Amino acid sequence: MIPFLRHIIDRTPRLWKQIILMSFDTVALVVAIWASYALRYSVWLPVITQERIFLAIMAPVIAVPIFIRLGLYRAVLRYLPDTAIWTILRAMGAATVVWILVIFTMEMSGRGVVPRSIPFFYFAIGATLIGGFRFVVKIILNQGTGMRRDEHPIFIYGANRSSVQMATALRGNGNRYIVGLLDDDPLHQGRDFGGYRVYNPVHLPRLIDQYGVEEIILSLSSLSADRRKTVINNISGLGVKIRTVPDMADLVDGRYLANQIREIEIDELLGRSFVPPDPQLVDSILQDRVIMVTGAGGSIGSELCRMIVQCKPKALILFEANEFALYSIDQELQAQARSPVIPVLGSILNEERVRDAITKHNVEVVYHAAAHKHVPLLEVNTIEGIENNVFGTATVARVAFEENVRDFVLISSDKAVRPTNVMGATKRWAELIVRQMALKARDQGRAQKFCAVRFGNVLGSNGSVVPLFKRQIANGGPVTVTNPDMRRYFMSIPEAAELIVQASALSHGGDIFLLDMGEPVRIGDLAENMIRLAGFTVRDEKNPTGGIEIKVTGSRPGEKLFEELFYDMANAMQTQHPKIMRADATAIAHLSMDEVLQELLTAIRSRDEKKAKDLLFSFIGVDEKQMQLLASA
């Protein structure tokens, strides 16, 4: 019977629902008049007089317009909050007061006397009938899970004002049905916040099964990063999607839309503490300067450009070899640029093109982010990797030196530390090239500063595991990992860009800066967390019916189990920024690269891959035996 009634109510047009409500209220108010007289005189059928008929007619004539004015017919009964009872009482009270004025006028004209208890009975009975009917309809519509077929049951994590405001916003947006709120505070559990029951998160597995919950939305913007990470870890792996929303203060300020629910990003589980950028450091290197970024269309290069363009440089030069990548970042920046943005299509191996870009625009700062970075690809394309990463860096650094560019910043990698692969070795060579240019500038008494910034993986960069895992999860798996015990350092792209800029402002020339990457992350744990955050469970021996499998494919050539940021931790020196350290690079000051660069160039021109690779590793002190040991460490 109830499903049938719910079906009929759902299919009834909104206008007819309002007409039915008004009709019910009219009948209910007439019944309230009859019941008031019946109670007053203790009889089922009070004497019917013209005055009483008149008062019965006037009751709905007075009340219905007041109900319309106070919004009783605008409310959607399915989502009627418990607090609506106060609106009903207020509306019924106002209608009763006006009705009493009609009685007073009638008595003044000598048309009969109404007992003083009648208005009180009328108010109580009318409010009960009108309010009761609405809440009965709500119960019918919300019986069971309380949702329509096209609605998805969700929980909101957090019992506070923001959660209630978010629930109200979601109620009229999309097809989500709020089952209730979750909160760790025992004082909140079991209570109602804004008409929503607060549950203990400990009971989530049972609640998910009971209500068929598909999604949990976090309203925890005020919590610390560590506490937020703990909450996410506790509720992930339950087979539901975990999402979050902007802080309500941001919604009020107009910085976000109310329906901007987003997925939890994996970097929110890294537990990294946020250090706001130092505006003095940033302005000192970027403001009113002509900046050139090589590899401007890449992950790091494009984020650097986004940051730089907001800092009012004199001009920003986008140097990129990939036409589409250059077009994309140029279009994005032109829409928000406060300064000239100039796209330059060219390769860092083309010395004339690099020199033309620097001299034509009077470049003062170069961020050299252009590089081939994909480890397995460079293992089978050694010569191309050496050409681009070693000789490309040498070309840009030499032209920057000759054209008196004030600051040159190399974007390096943790793979440059005791490298076991071509990519890491070429990055180590790039660091040495930049160091040599710094010493050369110092010897000639120039004010030029050359430095390198070394850090680990960035989440979401081109070719990184995070986008790969996302695609594999979206396709239903399996998620492939080469070795689940591999550990890698991770940071977000925006954080990396901010720290790179600030590190470059701290340079004295010849520095190698190391960014604080926190604790290394186990790749197997990263894959499991991403699967759980997507609302799936991991299929393994313990859970053979799980959603997505993690498939181990085996380590690839050149991959290390553990990455390092330092050659010697004891030589890492703290800077004025808590997340930026400086490596002691004095030990490499004696290395001369001119002759070995010429040998390497000869091997490249002759396409002798073996000789080029031997030279690449032997010069930086890594032989074949060491490479094997490091790869299996």
pLDDT given at position 450: 93
| Same domain flag for 253 and 346 | no
For residue 441, pLDDT beyond 70: yes
Element (H, E) at 167: helix 161-171
| Same domain flag for 287 and 379 | yes
How far are the Cα atoms of 36, 39, 40, 51, 121 from residue 115, in angstroms, in the given order? 10, 12, 8, 13, 11
pLDDT given at position 225: 61
**What is the span of the domain harbouring residue 180?**
152-264
CA angle 153, 5, 16 (to 5 degrees): 100
Residue 274 lies in a domain: no
Amino acid at 520: P
Amino acid at 482: T
Residue-wise pLDDT for 312-328, tens only, equals: 899 999 999 999 999 99
Rounded CA separation 93/581 (Å): 71
Amino acid at 314: K
| Same domain flag for 235 and 301 | no
Tokens representing 22?
A: 């008004």
| Same domain flag for 123 and 234 | no
Choose the weakest-confidence range: 114-123, 154-163, 250-259, 598-607: 250-259
Percent of the chain with pLDDT over 70: 79
Residue 182 lies in a domain: yes
Nearest one of 29, 37, 19, 48 to 96, comparing CA atoms: 29
How many CA atoms does the CB half-sphere of 367 hold within 13 Å? 34
Tokens representing 88?
A: 């009903």
For residue 273, pLDDT beyond 60: no
| Same domain flag for 212 and 357 | no
| Same domain flag for 285 and 428 | yes
Mean pLDDT to the nearest integer, 206-230: 72
Residue 493 lies in a domain: yes
Rounded CA separation 39/46 (Å): 9
Dihedral of alpha carbons 269, 273, 276, 277, sign: negative
Whose tokens are 């890294």? That residue is: 270
Whose tokens are 């560019």? That residue is: 405
The radius of gyration computed from the CA coordinates of the chain, to the nearest angstrom, equals 35
pLDDT given at position 481: 84
Mean pLDDT to the nearest integer, 412-426: 87
| Same domain flag for 283 and 255 | no
Q: Which residues make beta-bridge pairs with 242?
A: 216
Residue 147 lies in a domain: no
| Same domain flag for 534 and 617 | yes
CA dihedral 25, 30, 33, 36 (to 10 degrees): -70
Residue-wise pLDDT for 381-411, tens only, equals: 999 999 999 999 999 999 999 999 999 999 9
Rounded CA separation 433/293 (Å): 18
| Same domain flag for 527 and 620 | yes
CATH of the domain at 168: 3.40.50.720
Nearest one of 448, 451, 464, 426 to 506, comparing CA atoms: 451
Mean pLDDT to the nearest integer, 194-199: 77
| Same domain flag for 531 and 580 | yes
Q: Which regions of 56-138 does DSSP assign to beta strands (E)?
A: none
- Please report which residue ranges of 416-491 form alpha helices under DSSP H: 422-443, 465-474
Q: Quote the number of domains for the chain.
A: 3
Residue 50 lies in a domain: yes
Mean pLDDT to the nearest integer, 351-372: 94
Residue 621 lies in a domain: yes
Q: Which residues make beta-bridge pairs with 561?
A: none
Tokens representing 569?
A: 């931790």
* Domain end point (choices 217, 240, 264): 264
φ and ψ of 74, to 5 deg:
-90, -25
Rounded CA separation 46/49 (Å): 9
> 289 and 483 in contact (C-beta within 8 Å)?
no
| Same domain flag for 425 and 538 | yes
Choose the weakest-confidence range: 249-258, 296-305, 413-422: 249-258
Omega prior to 115 cis, within 30 of 0: no
φ and ψ of 334, to 5 deg:
-60, -30
Q: Which residues make beta-bridge pairs with 196?
A: 193
* Domain end point (choices 119, 141, 163): 141
Does the pTM exceed 0.85?
Answer: no
Choose the weakest-confidence range: 404-418, 520-534, 552-566: 552-566
Tokens representing 504?
A: 């470059």
* Domain end point (choices 209, 234, 264): 264
| Same domain flag for 40 and 101 | yes
Residue-wise pLDDT for 233-257, tens only, equals: 777 767 777 777 655 554 544 444 4
